[in-house]
Copies of this chain bind each other. A is one copy, B any other.
Amino acid sequence: MAEFPKSIKNLIDAFERLPGIGPKGATRLVFYLLNTPKAYVNDLSQALVKMKEETKICQKCFSVSEQNICSICNNDHRNHRQICVVERAIDVMAIENIGEFKGVYHVLGGVINPLDHIGPDDLKIDELVNRVRTICEEELKKMGEESNNCYIVEVILATNPTMEGEATALHIKKRLEGLNIKISRIGSGLPIGADLEYADQATLCRALDGRRDL
């Protein structure tokens, strides 16, 4: 039985380690690349290295950025007193894509997951608490007595509506208690366009709990 040439085998192995790409998919990709212009393969190769070299973690919200502070945290037109807490940087982009949210973000870097040995200390929860506390203190100084009647910061917990995401949201809620802030959780229920008939029980249950007055 003949084998693939070594350079092809190496690339198949490298592709196979990507999520969602199995041995067959990796082989198909490599043989597709064999027939593409060299320029594209070089572009892809360089884009990989550059992505790794040029991206940093924003020191404020822990999203990805090419500067030390990302373009969202650096934007004075955004509401820095409304913080959307998400699991991963990719979730920031998902929310940015709707173009509705005008606040800022905080990327946790995952969720609490005892099975994977990920505890609260492995996530950017302390950083979130400190960040919110600092904003509260700064705003209090500015506002003085007025501040008693309104919330200073809104924290929107937008972790995924999974078991781990819910647990992480509850944990963060507890950690933020005592601060003069509003804490909310993103709505969950049936997605738009869905069919009640095919919805799972947990989603239906959540949809009923989360019913809104019309």
Chain A interface residues (CB < 8 Å from chain B): 1-8, 10-11, 13-15, 17-20, 25, 27-34, 38, 40-55, 64-66, 70-72, 75, 88-90, 92-93, 96-97, 99
Contact = CB atoms under 8 A, between A and B. Distances in A.
Contact of A6 (B52, B66, B97): B66
Given A8-B64, A71-B2, A72-B2, A51 B28 contact: no
B14 A44 contact: yes
A29 B40 contact: no
Contacts of A20: 25, 28-29
A97 B24 CA distance: 12
Contact of A2 (B8, B17, B18, B96): B96
A50 B189 CA distance: 49
A49 to B, nearest CB: 5
A32 B18 contact: yes
Contacts of A51: 7-8, 10-11, 30, 33-34, 41
A156 B72 CA distance: 62
A46 B44 CA distance: 10
A51 B9 CA distance: 9
Nearest 8 A-B pairs (CB), nearest first? A7-B54, A11-B47, A45-B48, A31-B90, A14-B44, A5-B66, A11-B51, A45-B45
B34 A89 contact: yes
A145 to B, nearest CB: 36
A41 B31 contact: no
B47 A10 contact: yes
Nearest to A30: B51
Contacts of A88: 31
Given A45-B48, A88-B31, A55 B7 contact: yes
B28 A90 contact: yes
Contacts of A48: 11, 33, 41-42, 44-45, 48
Given A5-B54, A7-B51, A11-B51, 9 more contacts: A1-B96, A5-B66, A14-B43, A15-B44, A18-B29, A27-B93, A33-B51, A41-B48, A41-B52
